[in-house]
Chains A and B, each alone.
Chain A
Amino acid sequence: MSENGSIMNGSNGSARRSFKLMIVDDSNIMRRRIERSQQFDELELIGTAGNGLEALELFRKADPDVVTMDLTMPQMDGIECISKLVELKPAIRILVISALADKATAVEAMEKGANGFLNKPFTDRQLNEAIADLIRE
């Protein structure tokens, strides 16, 4: 397992990288929506979390490579969680998915270490484009 995911063999025998995905959002609807809508074979969902504290616990157990992160959550918000995840694993890739649409929030998230920002609500296409940008950087 490398810091940026692992190498797996595709159906045609070619090697391709796979990533462990963690979804963090306090909304059950949003967690299910992201899980259902993402269309990447190279992503393996290792679990979901409803707040930053749960996300850190899941991180310690399952070592995800890619994270979708809500910002407004109880107990520990997304900004604080991003800082902690980046500290624990600098190569982690984080896509913020938030209803907070102001530029200052996006800049703050990126400064803490997020790699992308997607506003809620979003279409399946927007979600998949944002994830593609994240894992194919």
Chain B
Amino acid sequence: MLQEQELKTFVEGTTNYFEVAAQQPASIGSPYLSEGSPAVHDYTGVINISGKREGVVYFTAPRAMLTVLLMKMQENDFSHETMRDLVGEVANTISGNARRDFGRDFVISVPNVLAGEKPEIPMVPGSRSFVIPINWRSHSAKLIVSLK
């Protein structure tokens, strides 16, 4: 079962990105449990976790949110590749935070970026997913944590 501290680490990694990179904090919506693979947005950064725990953590965001985030970062390239790059950077930050807090008991992969509404996200059989809405300005993304 997912520990509260583990969840907190992933959530803080995500919100910290918005607070520092865009200078505007994100807020957290009410988390909920989901069976199977929760629906994702346009761009998804996936981190695989093995070792002490097994599963996946992913950050998924709509193109509109990423566009505004890029604008806040003074970026003027809004291409598909840049969107992929950005969602990978957010996932990278979540991964880095997790390594700091969990140490070497958790083996955390380099993020893999997927685009489209129905990407193949590897789920651990029998695990349930915590879905944490990440609200920023008028947009909403999701952090999904599925660990066994």
Contact = CB atoms under 8 A, between A and B. Distances in A.
Interface of A: 27-30, 32-33, 36, 72, 98-105, 119-123
B146 interface: no
B60 interface: no
B103 interface: yes
Q: Which applies to chain B's interface (DSSP): helix, strand, loop or mixed?
A: helix
A89 B4 CA distance: 47
Given A122-B20, A123-B23, A29 B96 contact: no
A33 B97 contact: no
Interface stretch (B36-44, B85-93, B137-145): B85-93
Interface residues of B, number: 26
A101 B97 contact: yes
15 contacts: A27-B88, A28-B77, A29-B70, A29-B85, A29-B89, A33-B73, A33-B74, A72-B92, A99-B96, A100-B99, A119-B96, A120-B89, A120-B93, A120-B96, A123-B23
Nearest to A126: B20
Contacts of B16: 121
Contacts of A119: 96
B85 A27 contact: yes
Contacts of B95: 99
Contact of B99 (A102, A120, A123): A102
A32 B99 CA distance: 26
A28 B97 CA distance: 22
Contact of A102 (B20, B73, B77, B103): B103
Interface in B1-38: 16-17, 20-21, 23
Contacts of B89: 27, 29-30, 99, 120-121
B96 A33 contact: no
Interface string B105-148: 00000100000000000000000000000000000000000000
